[in-house]
Amino acid sequence: MPDQPSAQHPRVAVIGGSGFYEFMDNPTAVSLTTPYGDPSASIAVGDVGGTPVAFLPRHGARHELPPHRINYRANLWALRSLGVRQVLAPCAVGGLQPETRPGTLVVPDQLVDRTTSRVQTFMDTGAAHAPFADPYCPDLRAALVGSAGDGALGEGTMVVIEGPRFSTRAESQSYAKAGWTVVNMTGHPEAVLARELGVCYATIALVTDLDAGVSAEESVDQAQVFALFEQHIGRLKRLLADVVTRLPETPDCGCADWLADVTLPFELPGPSS
């Protein structure tokens, strides 16, 4: 019989900005370490509409970690150690197409990796190759699209750059010409590390700016990004709360099925599922 979720073993997690601490009722901090070091911060475990949920601030409790210094492996390992099997990952993105105006919500179905220095696998030995043709969990994506409402884009490609700098106009124009939808600095390697651990993962992206190549008159700066994200954080919290309360306790999406056919060079952490 599968383990049932509890306050100690939440099956759902949100990885997001520190503003999501108020997302849950009665949060309790859980400090963990992993074979890959410490996660970005203590994990808050609380309740959302009767569902146990874990929350991890991706950039640290005080937003002290830039995108290229986040310990993505420790973050995903720690969450799975707690019992998490489904991760929702809200993030800020730059829009690359005319329809991705600031304030637009996008639920990507594809990802392009343009990072350069990040460790993006747990497979340090052996031959275990995770399928990644479709990087996001279809069930989580469907739930996010269903809650996002009219005006949201239910598909799109998110290109992930190294950061912490923003793109040049030439880079941004090249991403747009490739047909990609939004640009971000944190969506990879989160998604592939979740897949390697058999954890369902999907993101909902809030467009905070038009990236540098979309308009000759506009470019992006940090103050603009932070201000617009803060303006919409209540909207994201309500959306995620709606999604969390409607997720099935036992996913039937197949995200973890590939693990049955490989020999992993490590033992999967956390309670059995």
List 109, 113, 139, 209, catalytic entry: 209
Strands 110-114 and 157-161: parallel
Of 38, 132, 42, 140, nearest to 87 by C-alpha is 140
Active site residue 134: no
Check residue 261 and report its DSSP letter: G
Of 30, 29, 69, nearest to 163 by C-alpha is 69
Q: Which residue has the tokens 């970690």?
A: 65
- In 23-85, the DSSP E strands lie at 25-30, 43-48, 51-57
- In the chain, the DSSP E strands lie at 12-16, 25-30, 43-48, 51-57, 86-95, 105-106, 110-114, 157-161, 182-184, 200-210
User: In this structure, is the dihedral angle defined by the CA atoms of residues 206, 241, 249 and 196, taken in order, positive or negative?
Assistant: positive
List 211, 252, 257, 261, catalytic entry: 211
Of 101, 69, 106, nearest to 91 by C-alpha is 106
The answer to whether the beta carbons of residues 140 and 194 sit under 8 Å apart is: no
The answer to whether the beta carbons of residues 192 and 132 sit under 8 Å apart is: yes
Active site residue 3: no
Catalytic residues: 209, 211
